[in-house]
Structure 1
Amino acid sequence: MNISQISAFRAVMTSSSISEAARKLGRTQPAVSLAIRSLEESLGLALFERKGRQMVPVPEAHYLHAESEEILDRLSSVTRTMRSLAGGNTGDLNVTAMPGPAAFIFPRFVASVIDDLEKVNLSITSRSSQQIEELARSQSIDFGFCDAPARIKQSAQYEIEIISAGCFVAMPSTHDLPELEPFSIRALDGVPMGGLQPSHTHEKRSVSLFAEHGLHYRKVVESQTFMPLLQFVRTGKCLALVDPLSVVNELELMSTGGEVVFRRLDCDLRYDYAILSPVHRPLSQIAHKVRSKWRTSLFNLLDQAGAEPRWEPRSALPPGSGA
């Protein structure tokens, strides 16, 4: 018994004649008759009494008809689901992002690209960049967005895509420093600064940048992430060198009430982001779709912020780049 036979059988059961059943199916009468005969032979049971051109179902045919309705309806549902899966509109999606983007930018993006949340088994979490790297290595996520790992190297467990973008100076809107853009790094000599933890690559790059220009990097506030630093900037306690997505986030949320402004630097202090994807975890079509759209959205966000983004091949990155 196969789907073609069952489809022909249901059509005959719901039609007044073989010819009507054939029209419903878009098949010829002989093809429908052959399907019915083949079905009867496979079952070892006559399903119809032939009375001239009429096909009169026997009692057993009514039982099979009830079962065939469920089978064909289920098949139709599976077909619709598979087409939806192929179109990237349904399926499983397990993604994560580091705390800054995970607070607003990343979930807003995911919400915008998922058409029907009832058709998606979604898990979206916030993790540290190191935790995201471990999740990718253990094949536990579809993809993660984080700071580029401190040591960029080939991995047999995950693929890495890196986008680099220029950083900004965050300062109070009332600050008396020149309103120039790009902003001169020399204007920050000895100025109270907020920064990240010493082990963070961005902090190391900032310290090195000041040293290269013979400037004093005077850090007075230390934070694990950028967003808390903006509250100290807002109240005039310090300035900060921040990544461009923090700029995008703040301009969207206005957590400082517009009391913090951002200026591009006149030197190439860049921040490296990474998209990590496990290599041994088959991705659903929706995971492929969301990851692809995130690449485009991320680049556009950074470009609109004036951060001059660029995708970086691994070989082009300097030793110890990333965070």
Structure 2
Amino acid sequence: MNLTQLKVFTEVMKTGSISKTAVLLHRTQPAISLSIRNLEDSIGFKLFERQGRQLVAVPEAFYFMEEAQAILKRVSTIERTLHSMQNAEMGSLRIAAMPGPATYLFPRFISRSIGDNPHIKVTLFAHSSNQVHELAATQSIDFGFADAANLNGEAGQYSIEKFSADCFVALPQDHILTRKKIISISDLDNLPMGGLMKQHINTERVNRLFDEQGLSFNQIVDSQTFLPALQFVSAGQCVAITDPLTAVTEMKMNSSHGKVVFRPLKENLRYEYAVLSSNFRPLSKLAQKLKSDWQDELNRLLNEIDANPYPE
């Protein structure tokens, strides 16, 4: 017994005719007759009797018809499901991002990507970069987005695709430095500043830039992420050198209602990001597509503000 035989059988039951079934299925009458005969041989009893020129189904055929239709319907459902999965239209997704992008840009992208598709389920984690690294290493997520610093893909447990982009200076709207199109480190000498924790590699790099020019780095606000520090910038209490995605996020969300503005930094200070994926958790078609699309989205957003993104 096979699916072709079941399909032929159900059509003969519907039409009551070998010739009509042959036309509907674009096959010859002998082929239809052979298919029915082989099916009868496999199940051990006749499904039809000939009464003159008419083909009459035996009582058992009607019960078998219900079972055959149920099987064909299930197979059709499976085929549609596989087609949807192949085209990244169905599946589940476990993803993670560091808190900054997880606040707005990352979930906005995922939401727009899946649209109103009810066949996609999403689990989204917002964790520190180190925790995103651990989730990728333990094969707990499909892919993640984090800082690139100190993420080395130990023991080949996960892969890292790094890229970087230019940092920006966040200023209060009425700050005198907003008159300048480009800000240099010397402009920030001894100014109250906000930024990431002192042990973060980005803060260390900023501090080094000040030291190299004999300037005073006066950070008065330490924050786990840049977005909270912008509240202090908005209030006029400090300025900040931020990563470019923080600038994009604030420009899109406008949480400060225009009280924070951004300027390019003259010095070469790049912020490094990483897209992480597990090496022993094969990505579904859906995860592959969204991971690739997220990288395209990042390039688009960063190019919009002339942050010069490129892979490391």
Structures share fold, TM-score greater than 0.5: yes
**Partners of 2:133 and 2:151 within 8 A in 1:** no
Output the CA distance in 1 between the equivalents of 2:178 and 2:243. 21
Letter in 2 for 1:212: E
State yes or no: 1:291 paired with 2:311: no
Output the CA distance in 2 between the equivalents of 1:160 and 1:261. 32
- Residue number in structure 2 paired with 1:127: 127
Output the CA distance in 1 between the equivalents of 2:221 and 2:43. 81
- Residue number in structure 2 paired with 1:263: 263
Q: TM-score, normalised by structure 2?
A: 0.97
Letter in 2 for 1:134: E
Q: What are the within-5 Å matches in structure 2 for residues 195-234 of structure 1?
A: 195-234=195-234
**Partners of 2:98 and 2:146 within 8 A in 1:** yes
Superposed structure 1 runs of 4+ greater than 3 Å apart: 151-155
- Residue number in structure 1 paired with 2:48: 48
State yes or no: 1:114 paired with 2:147: no
**Partners of 1:89 and 1:116 within 8 A in 2:** no
**Structure 2 CA distance for partners of 1:67 and 1:293, relative to 1, 3 Å:** same
Output the CA distance in 2 between the equivalents of 1:153 and 1:231. 35
Output the CA distance in 2 between the equivalents of 1:151 and 1:34. 64
State yes or no: 1:137 paired with 2:137: yes
Letter in 1 for 2:300: N
SS of corresponding position for 1:170:
strand
- Residue number in structure 2 paired with 1:320: none
**Partners of 1:89 and 1:115 within 8 A in 2:** no
Range 49-58 or range 78-87, more displaced: 49-58
- Residue number in structure 2 paired with 1:316: none
Aligned residue-pair number = 312
- Residue number in structure 2 paired with 1:315: none
Q: What are the within-5 Å matches in structure 2 for residues 1-323 of structure 1?
A: 1-152=1-152, 155-177=155-177, 179-312=179-312
**Partners of 1:142 and 1:278 within 8 A in 2:** yes
Output the CA distance in 2 between the equivalents of 1:178 and 1:64. 80
Superposed CA offset, 1:174-200 (max 9, x none): 011262232121111111111211121
Output the CA distance in 2 between the equivalents of 1:282 and 1:50. 56
Instruction: Please report how far the alpha carbon of residue 311 of structure 1 lies from its aligned counterpart in structure 2 after TM superposition.
Output: 1.1
Instruction: Please report how far the alpha carbon of residue 164 of structure 1 lies from its aligned counterpart in structure 2 after TM superposition.
Output: 0.2
Output the CA distance in 1 between the equivalents of 2:132 and 2:159. 13
Instruction: Please report how far the alpha carbon of residue 155 of structure 1 lies from its aligned counterpart in structure 2 after TM superposition.
Output: 4.3
**Partners of 2:16 and 2:56 within 8 A in 1:** no
**Partners of 1:181 and 1:266 within 8 A in 2:** no
Output the CA distance in 1 between the equivalents of 2:53 and 2:158. 66
**Structure 2 CA distance for partners of 1:17 and 1:269, relative to 1, 3 Å:** same
**Structure 1: segments with no counterpart, 5+ residues:** 313-323
Q: CA RMSD in A?
A: 1.3
Output the CA distance in 2 between the equivalents of 1:53 and 1:180. 95
**Partners of 2:85 and 2:91 within 8 A in 1:** yes
Superposed CA offset, 1:252-276 (max 9, x none): 1111110111111111111011100
Identity %: 48
**Structure 2 CA distance for partners of 1:81 and 1:244, relative to 1, 3 Å:** same
